[in-house]
Amino acid sequence: MNSKYSVEDIKYYLIFSALLIVIVAYFTPLIGLVAVFLYVYIVYTLLKNIKIKNEESKKYIEEISDDFDTVTKQAVFSMPFPLVIADEKGIIIWYNTPFLNLFKDQDIMNADLNDLINGIDIESVLDGSLKNTFPITIENSNYSVYPNLIDVSKTNSDRNRMMMFYFINETHFKKLERKYIDSNSIVARIEVDNFDEAMDSAPSSNRPQLIAEIDSTIRGYFEDFDALVRKYDTDMYLVVMSFKSLKQIKEKRFDLLDDLRELDKGNTIPITLSIGVSSFGLSYKEAYAESDTCLDLALGRGGDQAVVKVDDNYEFFGGKSKAVEKRNKVKARVLGIALRQLIDGASDVYIMGHKNADMDAIGSGIGVLRAVLNRGKKGHIVLNNSNPSIENLLNRMKEEEEETYNMIVTGEYAMNNITPKSLLILVDNHKPSFTEAPELLEMTPQVVIIDHHRRGKEFVKDPVLTYVEPYASSTSELVTEMLTYMNDELNLTHFEADALMSGIVVDTKNFSFQTGVRTFEAASILKRAGADMFKVKQLFQDDLDTLLNKAEVVHNTKIIFNEIAISKMEREAPNSILIAAQAADELLDINGVNASFVITVSSGKTHISGRSRGNISVQLILEKLGGGGHLNMAGAQLESTDVNYAEESLINAIKEYYEEDEKE
């Protein structure tokens, strides 16, 4: 707004007055002449007064400006919080006393601001991208810094721009924030996941003492962190602790798992725990529900580990021991009956494994299809493409079971025909992104999971039935057990028995890995149903090219960390993934090798197959690369086709695994 007085402000009045004078002069010249002289005098006086008023106004503004400059300077000099001014190079050209006090009165004039304080991005302030406050720490005190860029190019200064930084001490608020965060309540649920088996393995006279030791160890551990512990079942505990306590326990990497595993009261089976811990900032009800979910995840991954929810992700601790086989078949019977009821209530059933299906995925799928047919329902196996690892099985299926072979459909067919009343059964996989057709999971609310892999971060949302048992050798073993409870008669054909047996054989490496009593019981059921081991062996025969490629992979092997074999197959072959898996198995035959990894390229991605003798968890290693599986058998795939990059990433994951192992 213009503060000057001007004739412009009253020009319309002057014009109107002049017109009146003209009119008066026209009718009465004498009076008009007098009016003209009077009008000129008034205008002259008005212009003179306007000039005087403008000069007075200018003087007043100059006085106000001088006073304001004095007040501003006084305010800057007496400002109670630290203030510093620097040039475009970050060199300090002025500071106030509170800023000097931050550095114990040392000489800081003309010093580089970056040398004094870490965290000030001079370039971002100069280019205008940094306008908001940013945090820094000086001598254990927390400050919020307000940057201000000043243009001085129009002044007499030889500089173009200067930077002013205000420092607001927020140490008190940060302490209050940390106190609030640290005192936030965290809920944990604990289950002794092999309680019955461990008790059965201990002498009866030692069992009360063993129970007391378990209880005492768990209570003592958490009470040392000022946590509340309540036992609400023979093998279940509820813990309420502060977030600060959780951080301390995480720093110790839940060494309670090791303490319980080393407990020895004559029990031949070690005591293992599964722990589910809620995340920060929830109500007690929400925290309890989340800890329950995390406990399910820990149990689904095989137990002997803690799972902590952190934002939208999970942190895993432990999980380096093999899952203990459950000798009680009650769960298999209950879930078998439940699955039978779901099949009976569905309009039709779709069975789906993972991409690049192996013998266990297709074999267990054929077993579930038999369960569907036994209930008189229409069923389909979803399989987009065959691959060398299952080619022999599918060829035999086409010859001997043509009607069943025609029940294999593509994902596109399934998406066009599935309805909300259809039942979708996932076998040998629980990760939506790894399925043949992930879209199917959104097209029906009825999803069942049957899997033997350790549960990962990714999981199907709200399945109606879940049977994930990492102790099992294979999904084919689980399906075989369930079949015995789903119908009075198995009605397995010889081919179907061979298919299920092949799934067990491939995942146990001919009954040498992850094999328990129930594995042989399942094999005996299939044997009585007509499984022929000679025909099963024929399903795994390889051609000459496969054998030569496998030999090349073994030849290119190198040993790292004195116990891990790594090899890679840089050229892509139709059966690259099969070669990698088989070669990884063979590398374990090398003396002194406890784990092996083979890297290969297939379908525009890099695949890694990992195998272990059991004392190194290839699952934990490959989970760092987005994969998963079992302690002694796992896999991962990377979007890149650069095998050298994959090898470097794998080695870094192995190093990280060893570092975590040393901490524990």
Tell me, yes or no, whether 529 lies in a domain. Answer: yes
Give me the DSSP letters along 259-312: HHHT--SS-SSPP-EEEEE--SS--HHHHHHHHHHHHHHHHHTTSSEEEEEETT
pTM for this predicted structure: 0.58
DSSP H stretches of helix in 375-468: 388-400, 402-405, 411-417
CB-CB neighbours of 223 under 10 Å: 13
pLDDT at 349: 96
501 plus 388 within the same structural domain? yes
Q: Is residue 1 part of a domain?
A: no
Q: Are residues 416 and 499 in the same domain?
A: yes
Decide if 457 is inside a domain: yes
Q: Are residues 259 and 359 in the same domain?
A: no
Which residues contact residue 433 at a Cβ distance below 8 angstroms, ignoring those fewer than 6 apart? 458
Q: Residue 377 and residue 324: Cα distance in Å, rounded?
A: 36
Residue 23 in any domain: the answer is yes
Strand 161-169 to 83-86 pairing: antiparallel
Residue 242: pLDDT above 80?
Answer: yes
State whether 46 and 90 are in the same domain.
Answer: no
Based on the fold, state whether residues 95 and 73 are members of the same structural domain: no
pLDDT digits (tens, 9 = 90+) for 588-604: 889 999 999 999 988 78
Residue numbers of the domain that contains 588: 545-663
Q: Structure tokens of 462? A: 């709200």
Question: In the prediction, which pLDDT does 566 show?
Answer: 94
The answer to whether 441 and 419 are in contact (CB under 8 A) is no
Report the alpha-carbon distance of residue 345 to residue 485 in Å, rounded: 17
Over residues 494-500, the mean pLDDT reads: 95
CATH number of the domain that residue 198 is part of: 3.30.70.270
* 8-state DSSP, 91: B
The reply to whether 359 and 485 lie within a common domain is yes
**The two three-digit tokens of residue 351, written as one number:** 């069975």
Whether 207 shows a pLDDT value over 70: the answer reads yes
- Whether residue 390 sits in one domain with residue 520: yes
2 domain residue, yes or no: no
Cα Rg of the chain, angstroms: 40
Distance CA 97, CA 116 (A): 16
- The pair of structure tokens assigned to 361 is 């995925």
Regarding whether 483 and 461 lie in a shared domain, the answer is yes
28, 54, 77 - which closes a domain: 77
> Within this chain, do residues 534 and 549 fall inside the same structural domain, yes or no?
no
With residue 346 as reference, give the H or E element that holds it. none
Is 64 contained in some domain? Answer: yes
pLDDT of residue 1: 43
CATH of the domain at 461: 3.90.1640.10
Would you say residue 426 lies in a domain?
A: yes
Q: Are residues 415 and 478 in the same domain?
A: yes
pLDDT, tens only, 111-162: 888 888 887 888 888 887 777 888 888 888 889 999 888 887 776 666 778 8
CATH code, 588: 3.10.310.30
Q: Are residues 428 and 499 in the same domain?
A: yes
3-state secondary structure of 168: strand
Q: Where are the beta strands (DSSP E) in 422-577?
A: 423-427, 447-451, 465-468, 558-560, 564-569
Taking the alpha carbons at both ends of the chain, their separation in whole angstroms is 72
Domain stops at, among 522, 538, 554: 538
pLDDT for the residue 322: 57
The segment with the largest mean pLDDT, out of 115-119, 128-132, 421-425, 542-546, is 421-425
Q: How many domains does one find in the chain?
A: 5
Token readout for 637 is 């795939």
Selection from 7-11, 38-42, 376-380, 487-491 with the highest mean pLDDT: 376-380
Residue 323: inside a domain: no
Closest residue by Cα to residue 120 from 164, 64, 60: 164
**Which is more confident, 320 or 422?**
422
Name the domain boundary from 482, 510, 538: 538
The per-residue pLDDT for range 115-128, each reduced to its tens digit, is 888 878 888 888 87
Please tell me whether residues 170 and 188 are part of one structural domain.
Answer: no
Q: Which residue has the higher pLDDT, 531 or 516?
A: 531
Helices (H), 95-229: 97-101, 113-116, 122-126, 171-182, 195-201, 207-223
How far is it, in rounded angstroms, from Cα 235 to Cα 219? Answer: 13
